[in-house]
Each structure stands twice: as C-alpha cells, then as structure tokens.
C-alpha cells in the first residue's frame, strides 16, 4: 500500500482509492450465500464469483468507465442524405455486451445450474457487475424480463397467460400457434445465449409522451393487424406510435404495449413523423395488448418500421442509448389478448424491479468499498481515517445500509426462483409479490442516500469528475425513477394488499416466525453473557416491538382499501416501515444462522435505526438506543467492528 499522504514541495497529493477483489472483500455477501445456497452448490458459485470479483474491479470497471467517457451518438443521415438513424455505441459498450453473454448474466437464470437457487447466484453476480457495468446491467434487466416472458409463454404452450373470458377461435389459435412458438423459441435462445455472436438484448417499450406511470391511460401507440381478420394471439401486427423512453435503443428486440385497431384504421397520421396523434380513448381502439417486436434494419442499416427521433440528454446513465422512437409500422407479434397487456408484461416488470434492487445494492457496495479503502490511505488530523472513531462510524453506517439492501435483494431472488421452479408455497408467492415493489422502492432510495454519503466521505475529491465518483451518484439517481417511481411502487403495494389480503398475513407471519427463531438462537448463543447473543437479543426485542404497529397499519390499509385517501396519505410511510422491518428480520435471521458477533451487531444497529426512523419508535427501541448512548465504549466497539477497521483488505488492489 502506498504512503497515505505525501508532501511534494508546497503542494500535496492524495492517494486515490483502490478496489480489491469485489467478492473477496465482501464478507457479508459470502456469508449470505453460505446461508442461502445449498452446500453442494456453494463451491462452484464461490469460485465463479471470486474470479469475476477481480474482473469487476479491473477489466470490466475499465470498460464501464470508457463507456461513460464515450457516450452513444445518433447518426441520423448518411453522407448522401439518406436516413439511417444509426445508434453508434462505443467499443467498450459492445465489449460489455460480449462479457455479459460469456458470463451468462442472463443465461444463468434459465440454465438453472443451481436449481431452485439459481437466481440467488445470478443476482450475486449482477451485484458484483452492476457498479462496474457502465449501465450495461440496464439492457440485461430488460432482456432477462423478456426471456422470462418467452419462457412462460412457451411453457403455457401458447401465446398468452390465462384469459379472464373472451378468447380467440380455436382454429385461428392453431393457425397462429406454430409461428408464435417458433418466434418465441428463437427469441428465447438469443436472449439467453452465452455466445456473444448470438446473444441479443430486448427493450421494454412502455413509456409514452403522456408518462410511464399510468400506462393503461397513457399508451397511444396502436396496433393494426397485418391481415384483416387475423387478430388472435400469434398474429402479426403493425405498430404506430411514439415511445418516449426506450432505455436501450440498440436492442435487437422489444416487448411493447399497444392498443389494437381494426385493420385499415391506423391511418396516415401515425406514420407521418410527429407522433402526436392520440388514439387512446377513441372508440375504435381496444385495450392494451402485449407485442413481441423483433427490431430489424435493412442491409444499408436503415431501421425497418421505426425512426430514432433523438437520444435523451440525461442527468446520468449517459452510457446508455436511451431514445425516443417513432413507430411507423414496425412488425410485431401479438402475445397477449387485448386488454391483458399490463398483466402480461407484469412478470417482465417485476424482474426488472429485482434487477433495479441489485443495481442499487451494487452502487452502495461500490461506494462503501471505495470509502473503506480510502480511509486506510487518507490521513487527517494526525491519523489515518480508519483509526478514527468518527470515520469508523460513517463507514459502519455505509456498510449497514449496503448489507440491508443486499439481504433484501437476495431474499426476493430466493422467492422468485422458487416461484419460477414451481416450488413456492402460497405464502411464499404472496410474499414475493409484496416484497418485489418494496425491495425496489426501498433499495433505490437507500442507494441515492448511501452513495451521496460515500461521496462526501471522499471530500472535495468525491465531487471531481476524474475520480469516477460523481458518475456513481448520477447513475444511482435513476434507480428511484426507472421502472416505477417510489409512489407508483407504493400504489403497487396497496394493489397487492387489496387484491390479496393473504399477502399481509404472509408478511407478518414471516416476520414473527423469523424473530421467534432468532430470539431462540440469541438465547442459545449465551444471551447476555456473549456479545453476539446480547446484540441479537436486543435486535429481536426491538424488532418484535415494532411489529404490532406495522401489523395494525396493514390491517387498517386492507380494511379501508387502496382508494381510501387516509390509506394513500399514510401508504408511503407504511411501505418504508414494512421494508425497514423486513430488512431487520432478514439481518436477525442471518445473525441467528451465523452466530457471528458482526452479524448480530448489524441486526441490532438496524433495529435501533428502524425504530428511530419509522417515527413509531417503541419504548423498547428507545430504551435500546438510550442504553447504547449511555455506553460510549459499546458504540466505539460497534463502529470498529462494522467499519471493518480490523479487517485486511484483499491484495492486489487496482486504482479506481
Ligand atoms: O418511464 C420510465 C423511464 C424513466 C427514465 C428512464 C431513464 C433512462 C433509463 C435508465 C435505465 C437504468 S420508467 C417507468 C416504467 N413504467 C413502469 O414501471 C410502470 C409503472 N406503472 C405501474 O406499475 C402501474 O401501476 C400499472 C401499469 C401496473 C397500472 O396499470 P393498470 O392497468 O392501471 O393496473 P391495474 O388495473 O391495477 O392492473 C392490471 C392487472 C391486474 O391484474 P388482473 O387484471 O388480473 O386483476 C394487476 O394485478 O395487472 C396486474 N398487475 C401486476 N401483476 C399490475 N402490476 C403488477 C405487477 N407488478 N405484478 C403482477
């Protein structure tokens, strides 16, 4: 390690932060995987992550930084004035695509090498990849969601999830079925390929000019059958409309929502170029359907059936070619019935929300890892920061919040793969549906706060572009916006609570069962006579006392229904209280499993913050907080342990 701070004449230079192996340095991830993966699957996953953890810190990180330095461009015309709408991406961006394929970052979820644990291993890898990926994790999220749709439709043996009434004539269905199956099978192979030459990505075309939240209202894009009378699932359509935020415009496919029109009624207004025509709500257009869109260009590179109007000029995610697309009759295969577009695309949306959580945890981990390294290099007020209690306290906070988000992300991954493998008990399925929006909304907000705090830890240098630190904050800011803003996700939580009251019961039952088990483990660890037992006992007491408040709010929300103004006004607080409580439960359960003091302290610190920040601090939580305040030596110990001050960081290390 270099000298912490060296004087050169009257100026000084500071040693920049370095990264070590992203897996080796992440003891909490290793421990979580030890609990979540079966022993027979663990060695192979660990070996893969160990290798990949170094690449994430070095070659992949360099590609991500190059992709930021060389953002995509739109070349609309060739030298002869012909319209080509070429989205020109950097070599680094293309290399990240090849890495993604080779590493199986999507494929791993479908190969299922770890059976009903595969998504855990996949999300762990994406967590290492995300902060280095130059946003390539964004197209991967949508590609994963699209692959899941294809897999589900193929497994169902036809084009769409079960209909609630209506339906198409059998003969028409049979006619279209073969072509549909072939198209979906081909798409699935490409989306889940490990071969860079064959790997394709998919976009998700939902958001339009009227916004991305109230999609059922805002969608103006229309779909006209290619052949009159052929309107069943599996039929080809032409799409006309304006997609306002297509996140990765270099994708080779997309899943798109559109309203069906009878043949011949799409009209010239849709191919003209303004994209401003409104058909939503017109008598002719029916409800939303979901379409699979193969994105094609001709031999001269001209887009077929669409124009790229412009690339978005964004606060962050500048590596990513986010575009406005005018659809001028692009061919698309109908894969859901009219009126069932939203539920049909929901599995894709839920998967991208899980990816969002993994990305959030990844950014948090990155800034924490950099701060941990920097604290060992930077001296101020006469000592390296890592030896100073105030700095240790800041590092402990960063680690605590990163650990909480990681635990929640991997829990959702655990439940998702159980459902995908058909092994989820009804209670687990309800929990998955409820935890998916909670994890997305909570980790996204946490990420912005944690990254901001971590940047502050680097002082003025953290504000300087050449350090590659500001980009982390810019990019993290998309997380609470993309794939549903916080309020939209809160509405989704209310949707679940009202449509499936068993979800609330599953949530409280899980919390209470896990806390009872953790309390028993705390006693088995020696209770007050061991530091781990004491801390875990404190955590369980505080979390148990927070549970009745959340339970009562849940009951009230279910009883009043999502339309109630009283429910809506309190729903954001409720969602955050639920997320905080559940993270506490996960940390306590993990500490109970590991028996390690560090994990018990994590759970206790979380429980303390959980009580204090929910605004409904129980008397027990307050007692925990004040007793800790009375024992500054205990606080010193907690800060020292959770900051990792006593831990050696891995070698070698690469300059960030
Ligand atoms: O716009 C965007 C871009 C932002 C900036 C990007 C920057 C660059 C990119 C950087 C990348 C890193 S992102 C916004 C994307 N939009 C969304 O994520 C959608 C958000 N909106 C929602 O989630 C809404 O709440 C909707 C679309 C679901 C609301 O639609 P409806 O039609 O009003 O919903 P309903 O009627 O409540 O639900 C319709 C059906 C129901 O099932 P059935 O009919 O069987 O009862 C629901 O239970 O859909 C079901 N459903 C779901 N099922 C709705 N949501 C879900 C779900 N999440 N999971 C399962």
Higher pLDDT, 266 or 131: 131
Dist. CA 281 → ligand 1 center (Å): 19
Share of the chain above pLDDT 90, in %: 83
Please determine, for residue 269, whether its predicted confidence score (pLDDT) is greater than 80. no
pLDDT, one tens digit per residue, over 532-583 is: 999 999 999 999 999 999 999 999 999 998 889 989 999 999 999 999 999 9
CB of 498 sitting under 6 A from ligand 1: no
221: CB partners within 8 A, 6+ apart: 205, 208, 239, 240, 241, 242, 243, 256, 257, 258, 259, 327
Q: Residue 282: its pLDDT value, please?
A: 47
Query: Residue with the nearest Cα to atom 57 of ligand 1?
Result: 346
Query: Residue with the nearest Cα to atom 31 of ligand 1?
Result: 216
Confidence band (pLDDT; 50, 70, 90) for 621? low
Can you read off the two tokens belonging to residue 37? 């993966």
Query: Residue with the nearest Cα to atom 47 of ligand 1?
Result: 343
Please determine, for residue 627, whether its predicted confidence score (pLDDT) is greater than 70. no
Packing angle, helices 137-156 and 341-377, rounded to 10: 150
CA 326 to chain centre: 28
| Domain 160-188+197-341 indexed as CATH 3.50.50.60 | no
Neighbour-count burial for 547-557, b at 16+ CB within 10 Å, e otherwise: bebbbebbeeb
Angle at 366 between CA 362 and CA 371, to 5 degrees: 150
Q: Residue 625: its pLDDT value, please?
A: 56
Atom index in ligand 1 nearest the CA of residue 481 equals 4
pLDDT, one tens digit per residue, over 136-169 is: 999 999 999 999 999 999 999 854 433 333 344 4
The residue extents of the domains of the chain are 160-188+197-341, 486-643
Q: Residue 418: its pLDDT value, please?
A: 98
* Structural contact between residues 143 and 188, judged by C-beta atoms closer than 8 angstroms: no
Atom index in ligand 1 nearest the CA of residue 137 equals 12
Q: Residue 617: its pLDDT value, please?
A: 43
Confidence band (pLDDT; 50, 70, 90) for 614? low
What is the C-alpha separation between 254 and 206, in angstroms, rounded? 10
Can you read off the two tokens belonging to residue 97? 């695509």
Query: Residue with the nearest Cα to atom 4 of ligand 1?
Result: 482
Q: Which residue, 104, 66, 72, 127, is CA-closest to 196? A: 104
Chain length of the chain: 656
Atom index in ligand 1 nearest the CA of residue 436 equals 58
- Residue of 135, 249, 476, 495 to test ligand 1 pocket, by largest number of atoms within 8 Å of CB: 495
Please determine, for residue 2, whether its predicted confidence score (pLDDT) is greater than 70. no
Atom index in ligand 1 nearest the CA of residue 342 equals 49
Q: Residue 267: its pLDDT value, please?
A: 55
Helices of type H across 525-596: 531-560, 565-594
Sign of CA dihedral 92, 98, 104, 109: positive
Q: Residue 300: its pLDDT value, please?
A: 87
CB of 356 sitting under 6 A from ligand 1: no
Q: Residue 273: its pLDDT value, please?
A: 40
CB of 482 sitting under 6 A from ligand 1: yes
Q: Residue 610: its pLDDT value, please?
A: 76
pLDDT, one tens digit per residue, over 330-364 is: 999 999 999 999 999 999 999 999 999 999 999 99
Higher pLDDT, 301 or 142: 142
SS3 of the chain: helix, strand, coil, percent, to 5: 60, 15, 30
Q: Residue 271: its pLDDT value, please?
A: 45
CB of 395 sitting under 6 A from ligand 1: no
Please determine, for residue 622, whether its predicted confidence score (pLDDT) is greater than 60. no
Task: Say which DSSP state 149 is in.
Answer: H
Q: Residue 277: its pLDDT value, please?
A: 44
Q: Residue 11: its pLDDT value, please?
A: 53
Other CB atoms within a 10 A radius of the CB of residue 334 amount to 28
Mean pLDDT over all residues of the chain? 91
What is the C-alpha separation between 557 and 210, in angstroms, rounded? 30
What is the C-alpha separation between 280 and 209, in angstroms, rounded? 12
Lowest mean pLDDT among 491-495, 533-537, 621-625, 643-647: 621-625
Confidence band (pLDDT; 50, 70, 90) for 13? confident
pLDDT, one tens digit per residue, over 499-526 is: 998 999 999 999 999 999 999 999 999 9
CA 324 to chain centre: 23
CB of 217 sitting under 6 A from ligand 1: no
Q: Which residue, 193, 250, 243, is CA-closest to 218? A: 243
Strand partners, 328: 240
Measure Cα distances from 179 to 152, 162, 226 in Å.
Answer: 16, 19, 15
Q: Residue 628: its pLDDT value, please?
A: 57
Measure Cα distances from 183 to 7, 293, 533 in Å.
Answer: 65, 10, 57
CB of 526 sitting under 6 A from ligand 1: no
Can you read off the two tokens belonging to residue 440? 């997305």
CB of 500 sitting under 6 A from ligand 1: no
Other CB atoms within a 10 A radius of the CB of residue 124 amount to 29
Q: Residue 7: its pLDDT value, please?
A: 47
Among left, alpha and beta (phi > 0; psi -120 to 50; other), residue 595 is left
The whole-number average pLDDT for the span 247-261 is: 94
Q: Residue 275: its pLDDT value, please?
A: 42
What is the C-alpha separation between 122 and 144, in angstroms, rounded? 11
The whole-number average pLDDT for the span 217-233 is: 94
Can you read off the two tokens belonging to residue 89? 């991406």
């Amino acid at each position: 390690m270099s000298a912490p701070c060296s004087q050169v004449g009257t100026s000084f230079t500071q040693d920049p932060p370095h990264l070590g192996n992203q897996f080796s340095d992440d003891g909490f991830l290793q421990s979580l995987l030890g609990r979540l993966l079966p022993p027979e699957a663990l060695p192979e996953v660990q070996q893969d992550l160990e290798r990949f953890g170094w690449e994430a810190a070095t070659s992949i990180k360099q590609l991500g930084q190059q992709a930021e330095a060389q953002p995509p461009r739109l070349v609309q015309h060739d030298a002869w004035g012909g319209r080509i709408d070429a989205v020109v991406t950097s070599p680094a961006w293309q290399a990240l695509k090849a890495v993604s394929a080779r590493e199986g970052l999507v494929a791993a979820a479908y190969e299922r090498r770890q059976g009903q644990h595969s998504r855990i291993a996949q999300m762990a890898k994406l967590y290492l990849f995300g902060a280095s990926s130059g946003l390539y994790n964004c197209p991967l999220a949508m590609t994963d969601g699209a692959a899941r749709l294809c897999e589900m439709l193929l497994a169902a043996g036809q084009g769409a999830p079960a209909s609630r009434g209506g339906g198409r004539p059998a003969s028409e269905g049979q006619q279209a079925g073969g072509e549909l199956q072939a198209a979906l099978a081909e798409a699935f192979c490409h989306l889940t390929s490990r071969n860079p030459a064959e790997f394709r990505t998919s976009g998700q075309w939902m958001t339009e000019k009227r916004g991305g939240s109230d999609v059922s209202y805002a969608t103006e894009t229309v779909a006209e059958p290619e052949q009159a009378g052929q309107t069943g699932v599996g039929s080809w359509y032409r799409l006309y409309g304006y997609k306002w935020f297509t996140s990765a415009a270099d994708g080779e496919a997309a899943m798109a929502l559109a309203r069906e029109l009878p043949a011949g009624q799409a009209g010239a207004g849709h191919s003209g170029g303004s994209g401003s025509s409104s058909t939503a709500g017109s008598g002719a257009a029916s409800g939303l359907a979901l379409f699979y869109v193969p994105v094609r260009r001709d031999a001269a590179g001209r887009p077929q059936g669409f124009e790229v109007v412009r690339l978005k000029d964004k606060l962050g995610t500048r590596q990513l070619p986010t575009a406005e697309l005018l659809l001028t009759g692009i061919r698309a295969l109908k894969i859901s019935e009219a009126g069932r577009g939203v539920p049909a695309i929901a599995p894709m949306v839920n998967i991208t929300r899980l990816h969002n959580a993994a990305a959030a945890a990844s950014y948090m981990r990155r800034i924490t890892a950099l701060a941990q390294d920097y604290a060992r290099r930077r001296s101020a007020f006469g000592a390296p920061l890592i030896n100073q209690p105030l700095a240790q306290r800041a590092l402990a906070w960063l680690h605590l919040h990163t650990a909480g988000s990681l635990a929640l992300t991997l829990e959702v991954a655990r439940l998702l793969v159980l459902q995908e493998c058909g092994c989820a008990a009804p209670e687990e399925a309800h929990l998955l549906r409820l935890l998916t929006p909670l994890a997305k909304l909570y980790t996204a907000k946490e990420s912005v706060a944690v990254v901001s705090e971590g940047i502050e830890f680097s002082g003025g240098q953290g504000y300087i572009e050449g350090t590659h630190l500001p980009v982390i904050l810019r990019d993290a800011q998309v997380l609470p916006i993309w794939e549903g803003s916080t309020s939209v996700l809160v509405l989704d939580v209310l949707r679940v609570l009202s449509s499936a009251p068993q979800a609330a019961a599953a949530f409280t039952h899980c919390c209470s069962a896990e806390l009872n088990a953790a309390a028993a483990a705390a006693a088995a660890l020696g209770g007050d006579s061991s530091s781990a037992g004491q801390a875990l006992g404190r955590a369980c007491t505080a979390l148990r006392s927070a549970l009745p408040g959340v339970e009562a709010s849940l009951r009230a929300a279910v009883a009043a229904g999502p339309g109630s103004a009283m429910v809506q006004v309190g729903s954001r607080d409720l969602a955050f209280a639920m997320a905080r409580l559940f993270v506490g439960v996960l940390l306590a359960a993990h500490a109970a499993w590991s028996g390690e003091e560090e994990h018990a302290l994590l759970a206790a610190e979380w429980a303390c913050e959980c009580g204090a920040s929910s605004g409904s601090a129980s008397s027990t939580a307050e007692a925990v907080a004040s007793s800790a305040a009375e024992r500054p030596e205990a606080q010193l110990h907690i800060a020292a342990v959770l900051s990792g001050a006593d831990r050696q960081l891995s070698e070698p290390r690469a300059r960030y």
